[in-house]
Structure formats: structure tokens, C-alpha cells
Amino acid sequence: MFKSISIHDKWIKWFLHSIAWMIVTIIPLYIDNAFGSGNLHRVYGFYLHTLTAALIFYLGYLWLVPTYFLKERQLTYFIVLVAIIIGTYYISSFVEHYFLDDMKRAAEELDKDNHIPRKAFGIFNHIVSSVLLSGFAMGLGVLDKLKQNEKKQKELEKEKLNSELAFLKSQVSPHFFFNTLNNIYTLIGIDTDEAQAAVLKLSKLMRYLLYDSEDGNSRLGDEISFMNNYIDLMKLRISSKVDLKVSMPDSVPDISVAPLLFVAFIENAFKHGVSYREHSFIEINMNVDKEKIRFQTRNSIGKQSSQEGEAKHSGIGLENVKKRLNLLYPDKHDLRISRTNEAFMVKLEINL
């Protein structure tokens, strides 16, 4: 993708260069025919100096800047540049003297009448125009380099996001699937309808993981359905001692979000918020409007979780989500993770 964009940009750039030089070529002829005396020597002189300027510009832009200046060889760059400026001056003077001699004599007569030091002015004009053209070539070369670096950085970030998304999918614990299948197996002998519903939810969840989240963005409604299916399947594992409260919006705007941003927090809440020996709680809620997504989890901390500390809560899955949020929503999200002796809380706001 980035390669095709780069080729497209390159063609546009050189097309614009060609148009510019066509205009530079045509305008002097038009001006001389419309307002001048029809003396082509003046036009040829203009073309000679234009060709010299183009040579200085493109030598700098295509060779000097990328070969020396951008590779930390600035001293060599300036030495070669000075040599090119001096060389092009003498070459253009040689061509003007031997091939445009008539124009030169006429110009010298004009200089004699007006006391203009033509040669000194020519040198000064060549140096100033060469320095300006070289600076312009340097600026364009630096901008091209920055643009290339930006494209490479975006490509690297995209590859990193894809790898982290794949890693995050693997963080949806294999134990979850194993335990869910065991619970469904038990349900088959108790409540066949509920077991069938659980199998359907599990298949939808796996389809979302394997296919629907592959494009890099998902519809928010699909992400919420995925979370609801995940929570419903997790319910099969918990006892009546766990107070579970879930609040998800019934309808949401048709917007896209990065997939699997919230499930790590939900999995973390079930992993550390469920106790089979004492009363525990898990709270999950989400609010959505046209400007923001507000997501929050809060879960109890059992004795075992308390002893292992906050490090256990901030596992690989949470760190992965933090990195993805920083890459996907820089300066557009607010993630706050806090802990007390009784509860672990996550608050996430994403600006749309």
C-alpha cells in the first residue's frame, strides 16, 4: 500500500516539475514576440542561465542533498556545492562568449553607456541565485526525507498494531474456551436449550475473534455484542455469591472503533474479582454518545488477589491495551486504573 502511494506521489511530483519547466520555456518566447524586438539572442541568454540554474538545482536536489547533506557529511556537501557554483559560472560564461557573442557585445555597449559593471554584477547574480536555488533544493530534499520517514513510521506502527492485535486475541485465555466447553458439556445434561444458546454465543465470539476483527476496525455495535457474549459465557462459571452488574447501551451510533479494546479489562475483572469463598462483585458499564465512549469496570479484590498485589492486575493484557490506545488514540483517550483495599477500578474515555 505504502509503495503504491509512494510511486503515485513521485509521478505527481515529476509531472509538476515538467509543467513548471514548460512554463519557464514558453513565457520568454511569448514576452519577446509580444513586447520585444524579436532578438532571439536575449531569449537564448535567458535559456542559458535558466539551464544553469536547473543544473544547480537538480544536482543539489537529486545528488548532493541525499548523498552528503542527509548523511551527516555537511562539510563535503558545502565543498562540492561551491565547486559546482564556480564551475557552472565559468561554463555558462564560456558558452555565452563563444556562442552568444553578438548578444554579449550589445550588452557591453549598454553597460558602457550606463556605467554598469556587468561582469561583477553577473558574478554576484550567479552566486545569489545559486545559493537560493541550493537552499530550495536542500529544503525539498529534507522535506522528502521527512515524508519518507513518516511513511516508514506509519508502516511500522501499522505492523506493530497488527501484531499486538494478534497477541491480544491470544490473550483471550485458552482456559476460557476450555472452561466454557466444560460448562456447556455439563449444561447439556441439565438444560439443553441453555447449552445450545451457549454454543451459539461461543461460535459468535470465535467468529468475531477470527474474522470480524481482522480489518483493524470494527463497528461499535459488533464490539458490544462480542462483550455481551463474552460476559454471558463467563456467567456460566460464577456462583450466586458473585454480584454481577452489567450495563451496556442497547443502541449506539454507527461508528467504528479498534477491536478488542475493552475485553482485556472485562477478563481481568472476572479473573481477579471472583471469589468462591466469600462475597464478591463485578460491575461493568458503558455509555456512548456522539462525542465519547465511556467504559468502566469495578471488581472486588479477594484475599489471594490482595496478597499478589496490583502487579497481577496489570498483566500483559492490560499493558497491551495501553500501548494500543497510545498508538490508536493519541491525545484522544483517558485511561485511569486505580486500586483500593477492596476494589480494582478501570475508567476509559475515548473521544470520537
Render pLDDT for 212-253 as a digit per residue (tens, 0 to 9): 766 667 899 999 999 999 898 888 878 778 899 999 998 888
Lowest mean pLDDT among 93-107, 218-232, 234-248, 254-268: 93-107
pLDDT at residue number 247: 94
Is it the case that residue 254 has pLDDT exceeding 80? yes
Out of 104, 124, 157, a domain closes at 157
In a domain, 147, yes or no: yes
Q: Which residue has the higher pLDDT, 279 or 99?
A: 279
Is the same domain home to 222 and 343?
A: yes
User: Are the CB atoms for 80 and 130 separated by under 8 Å?
Assistant: no
pLDDT at residue number 278: 77
- Highest mean pLDDT (candidates 35-44, 126-135, 189-198): 189-198
In a domain, 166, yes or no: no
Structural domain for 270, as ranges = 175-351
Is the same domain home to 53 and 138?
A: yes
Is the same domain home to 65 and 203?
A: no
Q: What's the whole-number mean pLDDT along residues 298-303?
A: 81
pLDDT at residue number 310: 41
The pTM of the full predicted model, rounded to 2 decimals, is 0.55
Is the same domain home to 185 and 295?
A: yes
Is the same domain home to 233 and 275?
A: yes
Strands 292-300, 333-339: pairing is unpaired
pLDDT at residue number 29: 63
- Distance between CA atoms of residues 176 and 169, nearest Å: 12
In a domain, 170, yes or no: no
Q: What's the whole-number mean pLDDT along residues 152-166?
A: 73
In a domain, 167, yes or no: no
Is it the case that residue 317 has pLDDT exceeding 50? yes
- Distance between CA atoms of residues 333 and 160, nearest Å: 19
Is the same domain home to 9 and 149?
A: yes
In a domain, 243, yes or no: yes
User: Are the CB atoms for 60 and 138 separated by under 8 Å?
Assistant: yes
In a domain, 281, yes or no: yes
pLDDT at residue number 30: 60
pLDDT at residue number 284: 96
The secondary structure of residue 190, as a DSSP letter, is T
pLDDT at residue number 312: 44
- Cell numbers standing for residue 333: 483517550
Is the same domain home to 216 and 265?
A: yes
- How would you class 151 by CB atoms within 10 Å of its CB: exposed for 0-12, middle for 13-18, buried for 19 or more? middle
User: Are the CB atoms for 49 and 92 separated by under 8 Å?
Assistant: yes
Instruction: Show the DSSP H helices in 236-315 as ranges.
Output: 263-273, 303-308, 310-313
pLDDT at residue number 115: 46
Is the same domain home to 76 and 15?
A: yes
Is it the case that residue 117 has pLDDT exceeding 70? no
Is the same domain home to 212 and 332?
A: yes
Out of 157, 190, 224, a domain closes at 157
Is the same domain home to 180 and 153?
A: no
- Distance between CA atoms of residues 128 and 132, nearest Å: 6
Burial profile 158-189: b = 16 or more Cβ within 10 angstroms, e = fewer: eeebeebbeebbebbeeebeeebeebbeebee
Is the same domain home to 339 and 269?
A: yes
In a domain, 279, yes or no: yes
pLDDT at residue number 333: 93
User: Are the CB atoms for 209 and 172 separated by under 8 Å?
Assistant: yes
* Phi/psi of residue 181, nearest 5 degrees: -65, -40
CATH number at residue 288: 3.30.565.10
Q: What's the whole-number mean pLDDT along residues 186-191?
A: 80
- Distance between CA atoms of residues 106 and 104, nearest Å: 5
Q: Which residue has the higher pLDDT, 18 or 338?
A: 338
What pLDDT band is residue 314 in, cutting at 50, 70 and 90? very low
Percent of the chain surpassing pLDDT 70: 71
The secondary structure of residue 253, as a DSSP letter, is -
The secondary structure of residue 60, as a DSSP letter, is I
What pLDDT band is residue 2 in, cutting at 50, 70 and 90? very low
What pLDDT band is residue 338 in, cutting at 50, 70 and 90? very high
pLDDT at residue number 305: 47
In a domain, 162, yes or no: no
Out of 104, 125, 157, a domain closes at 157
pLDDT at residue number 99: 63
How many of the other CB atoms lie within 10 Å of CB of 31?
13
Lowest mean pLDDT among 190-194, 210-214, 282-286, 348-352: 210-214
Q: What's the whole-number mean pLDDT along residues 109-131?
A: 60
What pLDDT band is residue 24 in, cutting at 50, 70 and 90? low
Q: End-to-end CA distance of the chain, in Å?
A: 26
How many of the other CB atoms lie within 10 Å of CB of 24?
14
Is it the case that residue 299 has pLDDT exceeding 90? yes
Lowest mean pLDDT among 116-120, 155-159, 234-238, 345-349: 116-120
The secondary structure of residue 63, as a DSSP letter, is I
Edge-to-edge strand list for the sheet holding 343-351: 242-247, 280-288, 292-300, 343-351, 333-339
What pLDDT band is residue 209 in, cutting at 50, 70 and 90? confident
- Cell numbers standing for residue 337: 486504573
* Number of folded domains that form the chain: 2
Is the same domain home to 243 and 102?
A: no
